[in-house]
Amino acid sequence: MSNDSNNVFDDIMQGLNEAVEFTQGKQTGAIIHDVSPLDVKDIRQQLHMTQEEFAQAVGVKLPTLRHWERGDRKPNGPARVLLNLLAREPKQIVAMLGLSPS
């Protein structure tokens, strides 16, 4: 193995070891990400928005929103961040973004 291959292998092994230690309840240097599922339809309904309004508000096409609501696809990247914010602080985020539900 080349030096680069050894470094990659070492990084992967370190990550795996941290994951195993985390599942055993040990404190590690691992960064934990919240990956709880989002209920996009529930978020939209709490905001009293139509699918069309909500899709436009979060910057996605209507078919994409429908896939999220059915669970065929999962939002990622900036859309996931925005949806998480809307789920946690809907009134504040709506006010900040100037969104107007019908």
Instruction: Out of 1.10.260.40, 3.40.50.300, 1.20.120.80, 3.40.109.10, select the CATH number for domain 40-97.
Output: 1.10.260.40
Do the Cβ atoms of 84 and 77 come closer than 8 Å?
no
Question: Residues 32-86: pLDDT tens digits?
Answer: 665 567 899 999 999 999 999 999 988 999 999 999 999 999 998 889 989 988 9
Q: What is the pLDDT of residue 48?
A: 93
Measured CA to CA, the distance from residue 75 to residue 54 in angstroms comes to 14
Return the domain boundaries, the chain.
1-32, 40-97
Would the pTM of this model clear 0.85, i.e. be above it? no
Measured CA to CA, the distance from residue 31 to residue 76 in angstroms comes to 18
- Check whether 12 has a pLDDT greater than 90: no
Q: What is the pLDDT of residue 42?
A: 95
- Check whether 101 has a pLDDT greater than 60: no
Q: What is the pLDDT of residue 21?
A: 80
